Amino acid sequence: MSDVQNKDWQVEQERVSAVGEEIDRKVKALKQNTGKVRSDVLEMRKTFWEDVTVNTDEPDDMIETAASIKQQAELLSERERTHKQLDRHLKTLDRLKYSPYFGRIDFLEKGEKSSDQVYLGIASLMDEQDENFLIYDWRAPISSLYYDYSPGPAQYNTPEEGIIVGEMTLKRQFIIRNAEIKGMFDTGVTIGDEMLQEVLGNNASTQMKSIVATIQREQNEIIRNESSKVLIVQGAAGSGKTSAALQRVAYLLYRYRGTLNAENIMLFSPNSLFNSYVATVLPELGEENMQQSTFQEYLNHRIGKAFDVEDPFTQMEYLLSGESEVDDQIRGEGIRFKASLHFKKIIDQYASDLSSQGLLFRDLSFRGDVIISKKEIYDYFYSLEKSYSIPNRIQIVKDWLLKELRRAVKRERSRSWVEEEIQFLEKEDYMEAFKKLQEKNRFSENTFDDFEREQRLLAEMVVKEKFKPLFVRVKNLRFIDTTQVYLQLFEQDNIIDKGLPLNWSKICTLTVKNFHNMVIPYEDATPFVYLQDLIEGRKSNTAIRHIFIDEAQDYSPFQFAFIQRLFPYSKMTLLGDFNQAIFSGATGSETVLTDLNVGDEDVESFVLTKTYRSTREIVEFTSGLINGGEKIEPFNRKGRKPVIEMVEPTKLNSAILAKMKEMKDEGHRTVAVICRTSAESQKVYGALKNELPLHLIEKGTVSYEKGNLVIPSYLAKGIEFDAVILYDCSQYKREGERKLFYTVCTRAMHELHMFATEGINPLMASVSKDAYKLI
Ligand SMILES: Nc1ncnc2c1ncn2[C@@H]1O[C@H](COP(=O)(O)OP(=O)(O)OP(=O)(O)O)[C@@H](O)[C@H]1O
């Protein structure tokens, strides 16, 4: 290091220490404040019931009591919120103390005499007088200079003053750990190769990390995009789509602080494992996590317990098992058809036809007798004014049915079964009836009249209790036979007559059979819920303002249209890679990335071709597997070539065991054996679990630890491992599995080792022989 560099280093270290002192001061002040709020909260929790006036004697008192409880609860929750905020702030300061910033730029604004020094960290920090920024938040407008430019002319955009032009005179990067500068580089064009090398060369983590220190220019564009309604990011495996998405959430929360909260943002992710994988990024950046769900969870929630909804993983297992080529073909055709916007249009038309005829209802029965028949409901529905929408008419029918049920309750009171039931009532029920009578002030003394009234009340109680399920059913609109209405599409010839797939009648038989077995195949779940919404009407969700769909290639055009309808006021960010469309790859259906039904003016698309996860050698191998792979640009990190090792089937398990041990000894912390199916994973796990510490990942697994893992192919998407061992790559034979094969190989950061029992698979024919080592 030269003297000048040495001096710079010293000056910067002094600044780090000075900033550390300021942080200490702020922490001290904040802790005092937090302590006060914490004791307030504890005190309030302890004395909660002393501070509310509880009196339940009279209705008026009850109202007053409720109001008092509410007021006290609001006070408590306000204090708790403040406490949470202070706590978060403290944690952020703690992180800043450890590593206050990662970058510095000197910027000379046009017309100014001296340049500003801008230090960038995960949050901003003011000096003691609260006048100057010691650290700028990485999301501040000026910080974008750091990501977008190298030294020289530069500009940035501010919401208040528009574009600010000037010159960047210095760009410096820091690696600071425990308040000590460990590395410092003045950089040129890109954001330091050195720094990226350092970050990417590390071991894989079981939790995703934030990338704020090394965000690349093209990623920054995505993170800060504010203009588009639908933003689509198509990016190669490992190009940082998920990372960009999460930093974008953090950016939006910063940019729209005060109007946009974490609850207003929703991320649809591929599975529960992925949910926990990404869960630490935002808290690490001092932000609350957005809402997260899988689309499957949403569908399950909507369809309820009446049916088993098949999940995409079961669908995948079925397709991979290749049990019957013919069944596969029919199922595949059905899946393609039901994923399409054409099918959505058919359902739209069908729903509009249902306005004049064809809706189906269920009888409402009580104790074996039909009290309102489906025919009566049908007649009532179609007697209503046709200009009312179906959902409006359904509401009117509901009100009518509730009225009819109340009438039935009255009729039923004098039936003999009621008297019998009364005999079996518990003492508490009598007491309750007695209390009610007292409340009504009608109970005078032990007269005959009183007895009569009590009997009437008891009868009403008994009947109402028995009628409860019927009321619930009507309120939940379960008098509509949605299942049968959906199945009509497949049972009546005249409803769908255009653009039908070849094996339509077989698809119909299969669909009906599944529903009768109380199973909704995954491909039917969205169309079914969509039709249900058209009939019942569903209030759109207005709370969610921004939707992120990761692994968007797994969503069909129909599913995306459905999501858009649910969240009409929401902006959308879709991130995906059509080379990893493993579900649609297996069936050849369209995905939302290939068939997006939104106006061009609303859409902005970005393509990420640089990839960061894997070593150059692994990328050279994996990009040979796909069309257009030559466009993928690996980050220059050296490693060993992927290896394909021939092995006899009987020796496969022991070879895997030896390889896992070897990888571990080489210092890899997460070593994943990726199997094609879940059945295969279970077999490997069973065979090896007593030989070394091993975790099996299944579709319900929510998190995983470092170490040795066995995981089915389709669950590995989105995550990464130090070393990947492919169980038996000879099995990936069909063209439909190319994307699956590409996806599993791209999970490896440092090592990719493939075992093969029947030689190289045909999908590898397109890969240059130089890109792997065959042993
Ligand atoms: N700018 C960056 N700086 C540092 N690391 C990065 C950067 N961009 C991406 N990475 C790293 O590259 C890896 C892949 O990133 P990520 O999972 O976000 O990619 P992806 O495009 O979603 O991948 P896939 O489609 O294969 O699931 C992660 O380890 C991530 O931390």
> What's the farthest any 2 CA atoms get from each other in the chain?
109
Token pair listed for 186 = 């003045």
Ligand 1, closest atom to CA 243?
A: 18
Tens-digit pLDDT profile for residues 583-609: 776 666 777 776 666 666 678 999 999
The best mutation among 211, 579, 626 to test binding of ligand 1, ranked by most ligand atoms within 8 Å of the C-beta, falls on 211
The answer as to whether 745 is a domain residue is: yes
The answer as to whether 514 is a domain residue is: no
Tens-digit pLDDT profile for residues 12-31: 999 999 999 999 999 998 88
Whole-number Å distance between alpha carbons of 624 and 133:
49
What per-residue confidence (pLDDT) applies to 191? Answer: 55
* pLDDT value at 553 more than 60: yes
Report the pLDDT averaged over residues 54-76: 71
Domain boundary among 177, 199, 221: 199
198 lines ligand 1 (CB under 6 A): no
Cβ neighbours of 184 (radius 10 Å): 18
264 lines ligand 1 (CB under 6 A): no
CA of 294 to the centre of ligand 1 (A): 21
The residue whose C-alpha atom lies closest to atom 18 belonging to ligand 1 is 240
* pLDDT value at 743 more than 70: yes
Whole-number Å distance between alpha carbons of 470 and 474:
6
612 lines ligand 1 (CB under 6 A): yes
Give the CA distances from residue 682 to residues 51, 649, 721, in Å, rounded to whole numbers and listed in that order.
58, 17, 20
Within a 13 Å sphere around the CA of 342, how many CA atoms are in the beta-carbon half? Answer: 14
- Quote the domain boundaries for residue 90: 3-199
The residue whose C-alpha atom lies closest to atom 27 belonging to ligand 1 is 718
The answer as to whether 516 is a domain residue is: no
Q: Higher-confidence residue: 326 or 154?
A: 154
Pair 394, 463 in one domain? yes
What per-residue confidence (pLDDT) applies to 302? Answer: 84
The answer as to whether 447 is a domain residue is: yes
- Does the annotation list 576 as a binding residue? no
- Does the annotation list 586 as a binding residue? no
* pLDDT value at 174 more than 80: yes
CA 213 to chain centre: 25
Pair 171, 220 in one domain? no
235 lines ligand 1 (CB under 6 A): yes
Among the ranges 488-492, 556-560, 749-753, which has the highest mean pLDDT value?
749-753
Contact 679, 705 (CB under 8 A): no
CA of 218 to the centre of ligand 1 (A): 13
- The total of structural domains in the chain comes to 4
34 lines ligand 1 (CB under 6 A): no
Pair 450, 576 in one domain? no
Pair 98, 222 in one domain? no
What per-residue confidence (pLDDT) applies to 377? Answer: 95
CA of 612 to the centre of ligand 1 (A): 6
Pair 23, 153 in one domain? yes
Ligand 1, closest atom to CA 244?
A: 18
Residue 71 carries which side chain, given as an amino acid letter? Q
Whole-number Å distance between alpha carbons of 580 and 577:
5
Pair 283, 409 in one domain? no
- Does the annotation list 238 as a binding residue? yes
Contact 184, 173 (CB under 8 A): yes
- Does the annotation list 723 as a binding residue? no
* pLDDT value at 369 more than 90: no
Pair 231, 380 in one domain? no
Whole-number Å distance between alpha carbons of 277 and 772:
30
Rg of the chain over Cα atoms, rounded to whole angstroms, equals: 32
Q: If we measure between CA atoms, which residue out of 632, 663, 757 comes closest to residue 236?
A: 632
Which residue is listed with tokens 């800043």?
96
Pair 235, 184 in one domain? no
What per-residue confidence (pLDDT) applies to 495? Answer: 65
- Name the DSSP class of 642: P
Tens-digit pLDDT profile for residues 489-500: 988 776 666 778
CA of 378 to the centre of ligand 1 (A): 56
Region of 171 please: left (phi>0), alpha (psi -120 to 50) or beta.
beta
Contact 615, 746 (CB under 8 A): no
- Residue 444 pLDDT class (50, 70, 90 cuts): low
739 lines ligand 1 (CB under 6 A): no
Report the pLDDT averaged over residues 57-83: 72
The answer as to whether 359 is a domain residue is: no
Phi, psi (rounded to 5 degrees) for 169: -100, -15
What per-residue confidence (pLDDT) applies to 599? Answer: 64
Report the pLDDT averaged over residues 321-329: 65
The residues, any chain, with a CB within 8 Å of residue 729's CB and separated by 6 or more, are 644, 741, 754, 755, 756, 760, 761, 764
* pLDDT value at 541 more than 90: no
242 lines ligand 1 (CB under 6 A): yes
The best mutation among 285, 612, 616, 750 to test binding of ligand 1, ranked by most ligand atoms within 8 Å of the C-beta, falls on 612
Report the pLDDT averaged over residues 738-763: 93
Q: Higher-confidence residue: 682 or 49?
A: 682
Whole-number Å distance between alpha carbons of 676 and 322:
12
- Residue 305 pLDDT class (50, 70, 90 cuts): confident
Within a 13 Å sphere around the CA of 10, how many CA atoms are in the beta-carbon half? Answer: 7
The residues, any chain, with a CB within 8 Å of residue 125's CB and separated by 6 or more, are 19, 22, 23, 26, 96, 100, 133, 134, 135
* pLDDT value at 64 more than 80: no
Length of the chain: 775
Ligand 1, closest atom to CA 743?
A: 26
Least confident of 92-96, 303-307, 705-709: 303-307
195 lines ligand 1 (CB under 6 A): no
What per-residue confidence (pLDDT) applies to 168? Answer: 94
Tens-digit pLDDT profile for residues 123-136: 999 998 888 999 99
Angle of helix 325-339 versus helix 312-321 axis, rounded to 10 = 150
Pair 184, 64 in one domain? yes
Q: Are strands 546-550 and 265-268 parallel, antiparallel or unpaired?
A: parallel
Dihedral sign of CA atoms 494, 498, 502, 503 in order: negative
Token pair listed for 279 = 């869960």
Give the CA distances from residue 522 to residues 337, 514, 574, 675, in Å, rounded to whole numbers and listed in that order.
13, 11, 21, 23
What per-residue confidence (pLDDT) applies to 482? Answer: 92
How would you class 209 by CB atoms within 10 Å of its CB: exposed for 0-12, middle for 13-18, buried for 19 or more? middle
Within a 13 Å sphere around the CA of 765, how many CA atoms are in the beta-carbon half? Answer: 7
- State the complex-level ipTM: 0.99
Average pLDDT over the chain, rounded to an integer: 86
Least confident of 273-287, 347-361, 614-628, 749-763: 273-287
- Residue 1 pLDDT class (50, 70, 90 cuts): low
What per-residue confidence (pLDDT) applies to 632? Answer: 94
Pair 574, 666 in one domain? no
* pLDDT value at 539 more than 80: no
747 lines ligand 1 (CB under 6 A): no
Tens-digit pLDDT profile for residues 396-430: 999 999 999 988 888 877 777 777 777 777 777 76
Residue 381 carries which side chain, given as an amino acid letter? F
576 lines ligand 1 (CB under 6 A): no
The answer as to whether 107 is a domain residue is: yes
Ligand 1, closest atom to CA 209?
A: 31
Q: Higher-confidence residue: 207 or 634?
A: 634
- Residue 50 pLDDT class (50, 70, 90 cuts): low
Pair 607, 639 in one domain? no
The residues, any chain, with a CB within 8 Å of residue 551's CB and separated by 6 or more, are 269, 270, 575, 576, 580, 717, 718
Report the pLDDT averaged over residues 529-539: 90
Whole-number Å distance between alpha carbons of 292 and 273:
12
The answer as to whether 417 is a domain residue is: yes
What per-residue confidence (pLDDT) applies to 524? Answer: 94
- pTM for the whole thing? 0.85
Domain at 592, CATH number: 3.40.50.300
Phi, psi (rounded to 5 degrees) for 481: -95, 70
- Residue 43 pLDDT class (50, 70, 90 cuts): confident
Report the pLDDT averaged over residues 518-544: 89
